[in-house]
Amino acid sequence: MKDLNNKVAVVTGAGSGIGRALALALAKRGCRLAVSDVNESGLAETVDALKGTEVKSYHLDVSDRDAIYAHAAAVAKDFGQVNLVVNNAGVALSASVREMTDEDFKWVMDIDFWGVAHGTRAFLPHLIASGEGHVVNISSVFGLIGVPKQSAYNAAKFAVRGFTEALRQEMKLENQPVAVSCVHPGGIRTNIANAARMGKSENAAAQRKGFDKLAMTTPEKAAEIIVKGILRDESRILVGPDAWGIEAINRLLGAAYQPLVERFSRKNLYV
């Protein structure tokens, strides 16, 4: 997709952070927007900020498979076509494998993995029918490396990456008119850490402070990078200098990256 003008773009989790900034950046390039979230007030603020753009907002819980399929049908009906789907809605959990509850593990997988998988599969027929489609799935740098206390998030984000990379190849092999990108943001200054669940022995305040210190990229900058990546049809969109660094370490060291992360975690996560 070389030009976003007049394209219909779907953004989940658009009531905050990267999703909101992406909706605004896509609107600036001429997209018509279908935005959704579980957070009604956040979503209303996004819609306000989109004044002058053709936009429709939807209440959508991406952990609800049937609701996603109904949403895809509703957007196709409301706009007459769908060109771009950004499966962005996500949550975080900080808890060790030993300590996390099944309920928290499932919560993360249902939103961060199944939300993306169902979002992709529900919209795919509409994207193919449009003749010019693009799936953008938001993984993380934690979809590239494993990190202590992030096993559930790692599992979801690695799964998003595998699923998305396989889909990209399938679309090419089948000559389908759908591009596919997987996005790996580094630390982005959003609400994600505040909304995160924590294991019961975690120091939530210290973790949130640590995140604020490490998150080096604004959501607006992240959105610009993602939009450029879409226009260049990048298979892997790295967002922020930390993402580039982590990807390089992973590529150069292979599994030997792990002692480096251990050293970092001993200082910062096991305090």
Active site amino acids: 153
Interface characters, 111-130, with ligand NAD (x: CB under 6 A): xx------------------
User: Of residues 7, 8, 26, 37, which one binds ligand NAD by CB under 6 A?
Assistant: 37
Cβ-based burial of 261 (10 A; exposed 0-12, middle 13-18, buried ≥19): middle
Q: Is 234 in the site for ligand NAD (CB under 6 A)?
A: no
- Please, what is the minimum distance in Å from the beta carbon of residue 127 to ligand NAD? 20
Nearer of residues 130 and 229 to ligand NAD, judged by Cβ: 229
Q: According to CB under 6 A, which one of 91, 135, 152, 238 is a site residue for ligand NAD?
A: 91
Strand, coil or helix: what is 226? helix
Number of residues in contact with ligand NAD, rule: CB under 6 A? 31
Of the candidates 49, 47, 48, 28, the one whose C-alpha atom is nearest the C-alpha of residue 36 is 47
Contact yes or no for 91/196 (Cβ under 8 A): yes
Instruction: Go through 18-52 and write b for each residue having 16 or more CB atoms within 10 A of its CB, e for each that does not.
Output: bbbbbbbbbbeeebbbbbbbbbeebbeebbeebee
**SS3 call for 238:** strand
Tell me the window of 34-42, 128-136, 164-172, 200-208 that interacts with ligand NAD (CB under 6 A). 34-42
Cα 101 to Cα 33, 55, 106: the distances in Å are: 37, 39, 9
The CB-of-177 to ligand NAD minimum distance in angstroms stands at: 26
> Which residue in 96, 191, 218, 265 binds ligand NAD (CB under 6 A)?
191
Give the three-state DSSP class for 136.
Answer: strand
| DSSP 8-state code for residue 210 | H
Q: How far is CA 148 from CA 24, 99, 140, 259, 266, in A?
A: 34, 12, 15, 11, 10
In the region spanning residues 9 to 28, those forming contacts with ligand NAD, defined by CB under 6 A, are: 12-13, 15-19
Asked if 250 interacts with ligand NAD (CB under 6 A), we say no
By CB under 6 A, residue 63 contacts ligand NAD: yes
SS3 content of the chain, % helix, strand, coil (to 5): 55, 15, 30
User: How far apart are CB 244 and ligand NAD at their closest, in Å?
Assistant: 14
- Beta bridge pairs of residue 9: 33, 84
Name the residue nearer to ligand NAD (CB basis): 176 or 250.
250
Sole window of 24-32, 35-43, 126-134, 254-262 interacting with ligand NAD (rule: CB under 6 A): 35-43
The verdict on 229 binding ligand NAD (CB under 6 A) reads no
What is the 8-class DSSP label of residue 45? Answer: H
- By the rule CB under 6 A, 242 interacts with ligand NAD: no
Minimum Å distance from CB 35 to ligand NAD?
10
88 near ligand NAD, judged by CB under 6 A: yes
Q: Which residues sit opposite 178 in a β-bridge?
A: 133
Query: What residues make contact with ligand NAD under the rule CB under 6 A?
Result: 12-13, 15-19, 37-39, 42, 60-63, 88-91, 111-112, 138, 140, 185, 187-188, 190-192, 195, 215
